[in-house]
Amino acid sequence: MASAKISDVVKLMGEKGLVMDPRKADQLRNGGFGENKEKQFVLDAFELVFLLEKEKISVKDSKNKRIASEKLLQKFQKSNPNFFNQFQVFHDLRTKGHSVKTGFKFGSDFRVYPKGKRVGEAHTEMIVNVHSPQERLSLTQLARFIRLAQTLHTQAVLAVVDGENEVNYYSIARI
């Protein structure tokens, strides 16, 4: 008897995605995506757009209608004006083999794990804040970010997304 097809459907719940099929959740978890929350497997907004673009999932809204990646990107951009730049950085780091998670609890945009390692297998390699070239940063902001990285025993990285959507990384440290 053939095994049942694994459903790739993810239900959009606000700015997160609920993975409906436990087997799909296992696949995604093994790929370094998502997290368990209250007995459910949840993807964050960046993971949703990334996996949808890669055609690894399909996303449905509360009316059970499929959502295209462009529409999802626009939705998240409305609530977070920096979402597009942050997504560019997320996409770049994931494509380079890093596990990337939101860094809100660390006071940064992202926490990044070494290539090939998942959350729980290694210490955070770097915390990343995303900026545009026009954005001005004060010395106080930089010092606070560097201190945070030192406290976490990790590297502080500024990611700047230029006008051509290229991502440039700048490691910053206290001398």
Per-residue pLDDT at 146 exceeds 90:
yes
DSSP string, the chain: -PPPPPP-EEEEETTEEEE--HHHHHHHHHTT--EEETTEEEE-HHHHHHHHHTTS-EEE-TTS-EE-HHHHHHHHHHH-TTHHHHHHHHHHHHHTT-EEEE-GGGTSSEEEE-TT--BTTB---EEEEEE-TT----HHHHHHHHHHHHHTTSEEEEEEE-TTS-EEEEEE---
111 and 56 share a domain?
Answer: no
What integer pLDDT is reported at residue 5 of this predicted model?
A: 60
Provide the residue range defining the domain that includes 38.
8-80
Token output for 173: 């440290």
Verdict on whether the full-model pTM lies above 0.85: yes
120 and 71 share a domain?
Answer: no
CB 49 within 8 A of CB 59: no
Find the mean pLDDT for residues 134-148.
93
**Residues above pLDDT 70, as percent of the chain:** 97
Q: Is 2 a domain residue?
A: no
Q: Is 1 a domain residue?
A: no
Per-residue pLDDT at 2 exceeds 50:
no
What integer pLDDT is reported at residue 1 of this predicted model?
A: 40
Q: Which of 40, 55, 80 is at the close of a domain?
A: 80
Find the mean pLDDT for residues 139-159.
94
41 and 104 share a domain?
Answer: no
User: What are 85-137's pLDDT values in tens digits?
Assistant: 999 999 999 999 999 999 988 889 999 998 877 777 778 999 999 999 999 99
What integer pLDDT is reported at residue 78 of this predicted model?
A: 95
* Mean of per-residue pLDDT scores for the chain: 91
User: What are 10-24's pLDDT values in tens digits?
Assistant: 999 999 999 999 999
103 and 158 share a domain?
Answer: yes
Q: Which of 44, 59, 80 is at the close of a domain?
A: 80
Find the mean pLDDT for residues 58-82.
94
